[in-house]
Each structure stands twice: as C-alpha cells, then as structure tokens.
Amino acid sequence: MSLSWQTILAIGTGGFLGAIARAYVVHMSNKHLSYEFPIGILFVNILGSFLIGILFAIFTHYSVNDSLKSFLTTGFLGALTTYSTFAIESFFLLERSFFLGISNMVLNLLGTVLAAGSGYKILHFFIK
C-alpha cells in the first residue's frame, strides 16, 4: 500500500466517520443501559473485530483498491475501535504460533492497562 494523497484522504474520511459512529453508539448505549459496564465500547470493539475479520477475508479472495481498504480498515474501523487491528493480528499470530498469539494478547491487554493506569497515576500525582 502506498501512502498517496488518495490513501491519506481515504484514511482521514474513514476516521472521521468511524469516530462519529463510535461516539454515537457509545452515547446511545450509555443513555439506555447501565453505566457500570462499558457496553458501548465492548460492542464497538467486538463489532469492529468482527468486521475487520470479514474484510480481511474479502481482501484475500478479491482484488480491492488500496484506498478503499485504507478507508475501511485503518480509517473507519481504526477510529471505530483500535481493538479491531489487535484482534486480527492476534488471530493471524495464533494461526502461526500459539505462543506468539497468546503473548501478543497478554502483552497488549496487560501493557495497555498498565500504561493507562500508570499515565493516570503519574499525572494525578503531579496535579495534586
């Protein structure tokens, strides 16, 4: 995939629409469901992962324009959820190596939670 101006525009447009879609879904789920569990985020993460799986299956069997691929995956699904890329990469790693797949999942899950918590705690310490 080349990073032409068409590809950049496709990613930006997809990202714009994906971010709006995520905000809408999360808002609607929070409006109608419990605030105790982030069901909206869980929903977009699962939906995005499911959709990226479908798209990668399509891309392996059909020739699809690079700008369209970028719009759908990096742009729309990347903004809808960053989890979708992690999910498909873990799936492909599991197919190659159970150890690599599990390692990727554990490191991503624990690493991101620890990084988010560390960032929060460090900033909170300096703001006090």
Range of the domain at 26: 5-82
3-state secondary structure the chain: CCCCHHHHHHHHHHHHHHHHHHHHHHHHHHHHCCCCCCHHHHHHHHHHHHHHHHHHHHHHHCCCCHHHHHHHHHHHHHHHCCHHHHHHHHHHHHHHCHHHHHHHHHHHHHHHHHHHHHHHHHHHHHHC
Whether residue 34 is contained in a domain is answered as yes
**pTM for this prediction:** 0.78
Whether residue 119 is contained in a domain is answered as no
Whether residue 95 is contained in a domain is answered as no
pLDDT in tens, 20-35: 999 999 899 878 776 6
Whole-number percent of the chain with pLDDT over 90: 62
22: closest CA among 1, 47, 2, 4? 47
pLDDT score at 125: 86
Whether residue 15 is contained in a domain is answered as yes
